[in-house]
Structures are given as C-alpha cells and as structure tokens.
Amino acid sequence: MSEGCKRCNCRRSKCLKLYCECFAAGVYCVDSCACVNCYNKPEFEDTVLDIRQQIEARNPLAFTPKVVDNAIGSSPNFTEEQDLTTPSSARHKRGCNCKKSKCLKRYCECFQAKVGCSSACRCEGCKNTFGVTPEPVYNRAKRWASHPAEKLDNVKGAIACIKAPGIIHYSPTWEGISDISKLTPLSHPCSRAAFSSASSSSSAKIPQAQLPSSQLQPSGAHYDIPYDDTPEILEETSNPTKVVKASSPNQKRVSPPQSQSRLRERSPTGLRSGRKFNLQAMPSFPPLTPHRNSKEGTNEIENDDK
C-alpha cells in the first residue's frame, strides 16, 4: 500500500505557484508527484528560489503557515499538553471565503485543516463546528467570538454560526499578529517528508531581532511584519552526499513567469539572467524569509506551450 503518497498533480503552474501544494508548502516535488512540467525540483533551485521571493515580495506571508494555534502563549497556563481533547484553538490566518460549501467540505481550508472558522473568515452559511465543543468535555462554551460578519441572511433554522474563539483580536489582518507558527499537525503519511525540526546541535537558534515594544499596528503601513514566523520548511531528501548546485550540467535555468505577455501560452520570452546568491547548504529548500534580498534577477524557465 501506500505507494508513495501522491502529492500534487499540477499541469499548468509548473509547480511554481501557490496553486501547487508542494511549492506552497515550501517543499520540492517528489517522485510521487504527478505534475507536468515541474520546475519545483532541486535542479531548478535557482528558479524556485527566485519565484519564491517574488511571491513573497507580493505577500510576505505567502509561505507562512496558514493555520496557527492561538493558544500558544495565550494564557499563562503551563498546562502545555492540551491533551487531545482540546477544541483546538488553532485558526486559519486568512480565513476562508466559502460561499457554497458551508465550510463542511474540504473545499474550505478551515475545514480541511480541521480548525474552526474565525472572524477572519468571510464564509456564508458557515456550519463549521471545528474548534468548538470538540467533545463532550465539561467545557462550557467559551464565548466564541461569533462574529456578526455574516449578513443576516435568512437563517434556515437556527444557525450556529460559530466563529472564532475569543482570542480573536480585531485587526485588519490578524493573520500577521499571530504567527506563532505551530501547526500542521498533519502527520506525514509519507515516510519522510518535511523535516522535523532539527534538533541536533545546540547553538544556533537565531533569536532574530524582536521588537520589544508593542507591535500593534493597526493598519497602515506594512513596514515589516510583526514577527516572522518560523516557518522552517524543508524537505525530504536529506542528501548527505552533496549539495546540488554548482553542478549545473546542462540545465537551462530558465525563468518562466517573466510576465509573459498575455498571449496564450506563456511565451518563452527572453531570459534574464541574473544572479543570486543565497543559500547555504540548505537541506532542501527555500529557507524562508530570513533575509530579504533586494532583487534577484533570474533565470528563466522553459516554458512550454500550452
């Protein structure tokens, strides 16, 4: 069983857009992926990183975990273990925008992540019950901040629009405020896949700068995100042998998206080669957003026709 867990099945994104689950997760595609024209491979590391940065520039949180657990650091409760009977205070940072699924199918990212909807969600007719009353626990309904967001449309028989737990802070995008990064409880079905936290050596932990004072920033400028989560994403392979790179056999680093004119098929356009440097022995992938490079030029990808 279990053949390799199949991953993505992209056909037109070259696995270089967030449409690709692998790319979005910050990992390279694997053999079990059924993608076509995949550039999300180590051989195209340069391109992958370049595109990643472009997307990241557009949305700094693009590669941030979509779901975060608000409970962490929430209360001084050191209970730490919440056992498995917690209502899961985790929530989707950007929320969903479901219109027809009522957040009861996997079309809904909240549902798929098994987390309750929150005020960040703009779903209609939400019936998602995750995050609330996980079980018959003696837990009183904590006041979930049910958000009145939803229009009062006709409620077909009482609705239980439960949304977000009280921890929700109203914010333009609280997605930025809580980045605790901790989630993805997904157990990787596949054997090895993402990393698991390198524990190993001690030293190193990059505390990174932290803004001591308040970081409350209502709206306004997006100077820098409040905190950058720690999205470490790595990937399988641990190639003990050597780093890829340098070798550059005959691969053509190409860059795909150069904005190919809107002509059908993205035209091959010219290539722009630039240079980028980065990387340091990465286990596998994109480091994340630890540093920001000014710009990178880049390469091009071969685009294929339709």
Partner DNA sequence: GAGTTTGAAACT
Partner DNA sequence: CAGTTTCAAACTC
* 208 within 8 A of 227, measured Cβ to Cβ: no
Please select the residue that binds DNA; options are 80, 106, 152, 207, rule is CB under 7 A: 106
Residue placing its CB nearer to Zn ion in the complex, 101 or 269: 101
Going by C-beta distance under 8 Å and a sequence separation of 6 or more, which residues neighbour residue 45? 244, 245, 279
Nearest distance from residue 254's CB to Zn ion, in Å? 15
Instruction: For residues 120 and 116, give the distance between their C-alpha atoms in angstroms, rounded to a whole number.
Output: 11
Per-residue burial over 204-224, b if 16 or more Cβ lie within 10 Å, else e, is: eeeeeeeeeeeeebeeeeeee
Residue placing its CB nearer to Zn ion in the complex, 11 or 274: 11
Residue placing its CB nearer to DNA in the complex, 105 or 245: 105
How many C-beta atoms lie closer than 10 Å to residue 125's C-beta? 18
Q: Which residues pair with 68 in a beta bridge?
A: 91
* 88 within 8 A of 101, measured Cβ to Cβ: no
Pick the stretch among 82-90, 102-110, 156-164, 269-277 that binds DNA (CB under 7 A): 102-110
Q: Per-residue contact track with DNA, 144 to 183, x per CB under 7 A?
A: ----------------------------------------
Nearest distance from residue 141's CB to DNA, in Å? 25
In the block, tokens 């051989």 appear at: 43
How many residues of this chain bind Zn ion (CB under 5 A)?
21
Q: Among residue numbers 13 through 72, which ones bind Zn ion (CB under 5 A)?
A: 15, 20, 22, 29, 33, 35, 38, 40
- 112 binds DNA, rule: CB under 7 A: yes
Please select the residue that binds Zn ion; options are 27, 61, 121, 180, rule is CB under 5 A: 121
Residue placing its CB nearer to DNA in the complex, 62 or 145: 62
Nearest distance from residue 248's CB to DNA, in Å? 26
Please select the residue that binds DNA; options are 4, 32, 82, 99, rule is CB under 7 A: 99
* Binding-site partner at residue 258 among DNA, Zn ion, none, CB < 5 to 8 Å by type: none
- 19 binds DNA, rule: CB under 7 A: yes
Pick the stretch among 104-112, 204-212, 234-242, 274-282 that binds DNA (CB under 7 A): 104-112
Give the alpha-carbon dihedral of 285, 291, 294, 298, to 10 degrees: -10
Instruction: For residues 63 and 83, give the distance between their C-alpha atoms in angstroms, rounded to a whole number.
Output: 28
Nearest to 179 by CA among 92, 269, 305: 92
Instruction: For residues 267 and 261, give the distance between their C-alpha atoms in angstroms, rounded to a whole number.
Output: 7
Q: E strands along the chain, which residues?
A: 67-69, 90-92
Collapse the DSSP code of 257 into the 3-class scheme (helix H, G, I; strand E, B; otherwise coil) and give the result.
coil
- 146 binds Zn ion, rule: CB under 5 A: no
Nearest distance from residue 91's CB to Zn ion, in Å? 8
Going by C-beta distance under 8 Å and a sequence separation of 6 or more, which residues neighbour residue 171? 177, 218
Pick the stretch among 4-12, 132-140, 208-216, 283-291 that binds DNA (CB under 7 A): 4-12
5: left (phi over 0), alpha (psi -120 to 50) or beta: beta
Interface contacts to DNA, rule CB under 7 A: 7-13, 15, 17-21, 24, 55, 58-59, 62, 66, 94, 96-101, 105-109, 112, 257, 262
Interface contacts to Zn ion, rule CB under 5 A: 7-8, 10, 15, 20, 22, 29, 33, 35, 38, 40, 96, 98, 103, 108, 110, 117, 121, 123, 126, 128
